[in-house]
Amino acid sequence: MAKLLSASLMCADLLNLREAVSQLEKAGIDLLHMDIMDGCFVPNITLGFDLINAVKSITDIPLDVHMMVNDPGRFIDYLKLDKNDYICIHYESDNHAQRTLAKIRDKGIRAGVALNPQTPVNALEYLTDYIDMALVMTVSPGFAGQKLFAGAERKVRQTREFLNSSGNENILIEVDGNISPENGAKLSRCGADVFVLGTSSLFVKDKDMKQAAQAFRAVL
Residues forming contacts to Zn ion in the complex (CB under 5 A) are 35, 66, 176
Q: Which CB sits closer to Zn ion, 52 or 161?
A: 52
28 binds ligand DX5 (CB under 6 A): no
- Report in angstroms the alpha-carbon separations of 44 from 15, 89, 141, 142: 19, 16, 9, 6
Binder of ligand DX5 out of 72, 112, 177, 181 (CB under 6 A): 177
| Residue 198 binding target from ligand DX5, Zn ion, none, CB below 5 to 8 Å by type | ligand DX5
6 binds ligand DX5 (CB under 6 A): no
Q: Which CB sits closer to ligand DX5, 43 or 145?
A: 145
Q: Specify the length of the chain in residues.
A: 220
Cβ partners under 8 Å of residue 182, min gap 6: 219
Comparing CA positions, the residue from 142, 133, 136 lying closest to residue 154 is 136
R_g of the chain, CA atoms, integer Å: 16
Cβ-contact 152, 176 below 8 angstroms: no
198 binds ligand DX5 (CB under 6 A): yes
- Report in angstroms the alpha-carbon separations of 124 from 83, 100, 129: 22, 14, 10
Q: Which CB sits closer to Zn ion, 94 or 176?
A: 176
Q: Which residues are the active-site residues?
A: 35, 176
Site residues (vs ligand DX5, CB under 6 A): 8, 10-11, 33, 35, 66, 139, 141, 144-146, 176-179, 196, 198-200
